[in-house]
Chain A
Amino acid sequence: MSTGSVDPAVSKRSKGFLIKIWHAINIPLAAVVLALLIGAIILLVSGANPIQAYVALFRGAFGSMTALGRTLEKATPLVFSGLAVAFAFKAGLFNIGAQGQLLFGAMIAAAIGFGIDGLPSIIHVPLALLGGALAGALYGAIPGALKVYTGAHEVITTIMLNYIAINITDYLASGPLKDTSSGNVLARTPEIMASAKIPSIANIPLGFVLAILMSILIWWILSRTTLGFDIRTVGLNPNAARYAGIKVAFTIILTMVLSGALAGMGGAVETQGVVGRFQPGFNIGLGFDGITIALLGKTSPLGVIPAAILIGAMKAGASQMQFDAGVAKEIVDVIQALMLFFVAADVIVRKVFRIRAAGEEEKITLSTGWGQQ
């Protein structure tokens, strides 16, 4: 079946396609512009030249092949965590726990990476990746099961599980799995074998390529398969899902497992592609950024890619900005927070830019207060 010609959603493509794209990106785009404008005002007030700062930020992110490579490297784990959050959203689940799932993924990938010697890359790399994904999957299954069997809301349980993950991985890195080589005083694991590392080719991190492939895979699952239909139906109307014979409890747990696997894989890619070991503190924030990225990407599996690149670029360009314009790096965090604020409070953005309200299917519900079981 040549999907392109028969999908009814696609067959109507003509001018409707551009309008669709516009409807999908207008709010995030407006939010980004608004955040940058307010960032500029803050820069002005603090005595810096916002134009100079933004130019430096841009140069630092895209100014050279090395800069671009750095941006993509920063974006890689963000695609994964954004994907994890966006995917769970489709089943009506707000997975705040991507951070914890990502940490376990990073830790297990490190353990497989340094613990096994003598494997060829072709086996060692995927083995560590899958180990990380599995760890994240298991850790994601917990809040899923708690929700189904006890009714505990996943927002609460995942927040708590994040703390547990931070502390357990801390403990492992400073105790049982600590790097005991002479001269090391830091809490961290040994460095992983070269055979477990994910390289870059011509400045493009291969982990980023994997992230793109995963995005496409998730998009395909959600829009083209019966499993995706199950997941979206559960997210949009759990009562109708039950009526339609969909196993709601199973679907919720499965979605959390897959979401956790994506976050865990993101942690593994970070370990194998960038950090080279597990070191507490190095991965903190990547999972939380996933929430921003999922919302900026309109919870679309493909939308998270530009969103992650944007945030990755800001992280990558921040040092250059500090160097050239003498602005504190932290302004980048302020702008990022403003972006999240404006996509979440999209009413403000609509008012400012006079964008008409979205149709039913585009609305993002952050959490359902009632009517769900």
Chain B
Amino acid sequence: MSETLALEVRNITKRFPGVLANDRVNFALKKGEIHALLGENGAGKSTLMNVIYGLYSPDEGEFFVDGQPAEIHNPHDAISAGIGMVHQHFMLVPVFSVAENIILGSEVTRATKLDLRTARREIRELSQQYGLDVDPRAIVEELPVGIQQRVEIVKALYRKAKILVLDEPTAVLTPQEVEGLFRVMRQLTERGVSIIFITHKLKEVLAVSDSITVMRRGQVVGTTTPAETDENGLAEMMVGREVLLEVEKGPAQPKEIVLEVKDLSVYDERQVEVVRQVSFDVRAGEILGIAGVQGNGQTELAEALTGLRAVLSGTIHLNGVVVPFENPRALTEAGVSHIPEDRQKHGLVLPYSIADNLVLSSYYKKPYAQNGRRNFQAVLGNSVELVEQFDVRTPGPQVPAGNLSGGNQQKVIVARELSRPVKLLIANQPTRGLDVGSIEYIHKQIIKERDAGAAVLLISAELDEIKSLADRIAVMFHGEIVAVVPVDAVSKSDLGLLMAGSELKKEPESVG
């Protein structure tokens, strides 16, 4: 690898009201390397990348592209300097086709007339060249997130990016998709593309990167390589203290059945039966983990259980009674807490303050309201407490949730859902996008809820998370629960097989 720098930034400082998001940051990206950027939630990673991509203008700092000083004031400058970015929250137009999305923004300079035919051909060539299989005619909103992400990458390559910024690209991918992405990343670097890769998953960092830069509270705390460190070392560098990467938990003490699901079937948007005749139960004081490759009905199952999606057939009992499952408020009142999969779609109202988001499902109740009038003092008091307790990094609870970093947005949701008495917790990807320190904290909280007698249904794409939290594991495949096993009775590789749809021949399915 040549030692020339593809990109260098010096002394980048970026302030937001009340926040020093980047504090004299220096960062150097070598040609053809994969450079991981690591750091706690709110450390300033996305901000730095947005500065590099011209979305934010820094208060101070200099840019060098290929060793030459560069002026980057907006994304156009960045694109012409060969910088492409895939954002933490995708920026595609859902109702447009893949081709339309890719040429969006570069269409004007290409031709006087929108030449979709040529564009489609170019896209096909590009995706073949890099092994990024996308259908230019597909409509974006109908694609799984993994493919949507490919579209974002192709989009950057279509604009001739030599430097690619990937902001938490793996947070929403299945392990298989992650493997695919890593292959693509390596191919790209072989062709001279340099990549900045943000993730919270230390294993990924060690597996794929050439160098690693760690940020903490707006500053760069150091740069290292996978050869020089390990997971524990990285975690300590990030958080500034030792982190427990494994949760400690005692054995479960299951009591009465809290959630009982019988023969449940659910449609998705296209009227396809994606949850098929599912039956299971969750007892007070235990955690049932639902493992499965994403897109096997887990999302729809969770939505049906929380009143967000109509039930096609089957019954759901909560504490032995049928609850009106088409009414989310009745569920909340009955003690159901729900950490939704998509934090920006269901979990938050981004323009609302953190304080308002923290009472999103209880704003109408005492003490937050009385006789239809809201009590702002109580709302504020609640938020001050929770922000402190859950370590939400923000200048104050009045800040709009949309201004928070991705991981801190997630913490707001978790704080809200765990802050009221919980009988049943339905947690769908509860730690997506969180740093190791926060994951440790949230995991402890979930176990605390379990030990206090809550029934927990944990849905996670992270096998490690399921393995370390769950007491029993139900594997979902093609809308069906193909096995329910005690956590100790199954190895990770067996789980992988079950999730892929093959049956375990050696022993009968045991129902714990």
Contact = CB atoms under 8 A, between A and B. Distances in A.
Nearest to B400: A360
Interface stretch (B25-33, B104-112, B359-367): B359-367
A244 B361 CA distance: 5
Contacts of A245: 327-332, 361
A25 B117 CA distance: 46
B380 interface: yes
A371 B338 contact: no
A224 B361 contact: no
B240 interface: no
B372 interface: yes
A370 B345 CA distance: 13
Contact of A244 (B345, B360, B375): B360
A8 B373 contact: no
A244 B355 contact: no
B369 A240 contact: no
Contact of A237 (B330, B338, B349, B353): B349
A7 to B, nearest CB: 5
A337 interface: no
Interface in B315-343: 327-332, 338, 340
Contacts of A224: 373-374
Interface in B256-286: none
Per DSSP, chain A at the interface is helix
Contacts of B78: none
A134 to B, nearest CB: 22
A360 B345 CA distance: 16
A239 B343 CA distance: 11
Given A226-B369, A245-B327, A233 B349 contact: yes
B184 interface: no
B328 A244 contact: yes
Nearest to B330: A245
Contacts of A361: 351, 400
B95 A369 contact: yes
B506 interface: no
A290 B294 CA distance: 48
A241 B349 CA distance: 8
Contact of A243 (B308, B330, B374): B308
A352 interface: no
Interface in B94-121: 94-95
A22 to B, nearest CB: 15
Contacts of A369: 95
Interface residues of A, number: 28
Could you say which of A6, A224, A245 has the most chain B C-beta atoms within 10 Å of its C-beta?
A245
A31 to B, nearest CB: 23
Interface in A235-259: 236-237, 239-246
A123 interface: no
Contacts of A7: 376
A371 B92 CA distance: 12
Contacts of A241: 349
B363 A243 contact: no
A370 B348 contact: no
Given A229-B374, A236-B351, A359-B400, A242 B328 contact: yes
Contacts of B327: 245
Contacts of A240: 345-349, 360
A239 B398 contact: no
Interface residues of B, number: 43
Contacts of A243: 306, 308, 328, 338, 340, 346-347, 360-361
B377 interface: yes
B349 A236 contact: yes
A46 interface: no
Could you say which of A6, A233, A236, A240 has the most chain B C-beta atoms within 10 Å of its C-beta?
A240
A9 interface: yes
Nearest to B352: A236
Interface string B55-75: 000000000000000000000
A288 B338 CA distance: 44
Contacts of B329: 244-246
A245 B360 CA distance: 9
A1 interface: yes
A225 interface: yes
B192 interface: no
B350 A237 contact: yes
B481 interface: no
A15 interface: no
Contact of A8 (B340, B364, B398): B398
Contacts of B173: none
Given A8-B380, A245-B327, A370 B94 contact: yes
Interface of B: 93-95, 141, 306, 308, 327-332, 338, 340, 345-353, 355-356, 360-361, 363-364, 369, 372-377, 379-380, 397-398, 400, 402-403
19 contacts: A6-B376, A8-B377, A8-B380, A224-B374, A225-B373, A226-B363, A226-B364, A236-B352, A237-B345, A237-B349, A239-B346, A240-B346, A243-B306, A243-B328, A243-B360, A244-B328, A360-B351, A360-B400, A370-B95
Given A8-B355, A225-B373, A245-B330, 10 more contacts: A7-B376, A8-B353, A9-B398, A226-B372, A237-B349, A243-B361, A244-B361, A245-B327, A360-B403, A361-B400
